[in-house]
Amino acid sequence: MSIIVRNFQKSVAFNLDKVKGDLKALRRILRVERFDVSVICVEDKDIRQMNKIYRATDEPTDVLSFPAHENLKPGRLPDPWSDLADLGDMFLGMGYIERDCTKHNADIDDVLPVIITHGLCHLIGYDHKTQEQWKMMHDRELQILEQFKKLTGQDLQPLTGRSDFLQAHHTDPQPHSQPTPA
């Protein structure tokens, strides 16, 4: 099936052809080539508005994923021969990602496969609202990025493993005897 990658922003320079190639490789690793998926790169104002509408958070973010199929169990793919052979859509907040790259002295073209991996995991049912969910998603992202390294030579780490990600998403990978406030 098809992939759609669109750049609807002008403030951040990046290699669009590399994003397309990385997305193809990641789809192959996940064995989801039969499913449509789209990646749309947008300005901060656009991702902020979407984040406000869909997550009640009035600030920009790096990625928002909109699965085509609801209530998927993590890693369990929908029937590729169904009428809806679509994983869903990912929106990338390019300004947010660029600022994060500057903060961590990283190249945006090296970070985008990590962000896309994270978004794809959301499209196939993974989440990180609880410690157990976080662990499952982190482990899956790590597996995907290890396979990605074999294909591309890029040694990348999961987004879910960064301490600033954990703080920003109110996720705590450490077990507690009491519930952690959200």
- Which residues, listed in sequence order, are joined to residue 94 by a DSSP beta bridge? none
User: DSSP class of residue 175?
Assistant: -
Q: What is 3-77+84-168's CATH number?
A: 3.40.390.30
Matching residue, tokens 């369990």: 76
pLDDT category of residue 84 using cuts at 50, 70 and 90: confident
- The pLDDT tens digits for 103-144 are 989 999 999 999 999 999 999 999 988 889 989 999 999 999
Phi-psi category of 116—alpha, beta or left, where left has phi over 0 and alpha has psi -120 to 50?
alpha
CA distances from 59 to 18, 46, 62, 121 (A): 28, 10, 10, 22
Burial tier of 177 (Cβ tally within 10 Å: 0-12, 13-18, 19+):
exposed
- The pLDDT tens digits for 55-75 are 999 999 999 999 998 888 898
State how far the Cα of 58 lies from the Cα of 51, in Å rounded to an integer. 6
Domain boundaries, the chain: 3-77+84-168
pTM: 0.86
Give the least confident one: 3-17, 48-62, 81-95, 103-117. 81-95
pLDDT confidence of residue 162: 57
Beta-strand (E) ranges in the chain? 3-7, 36-42, 63-67, 86-93
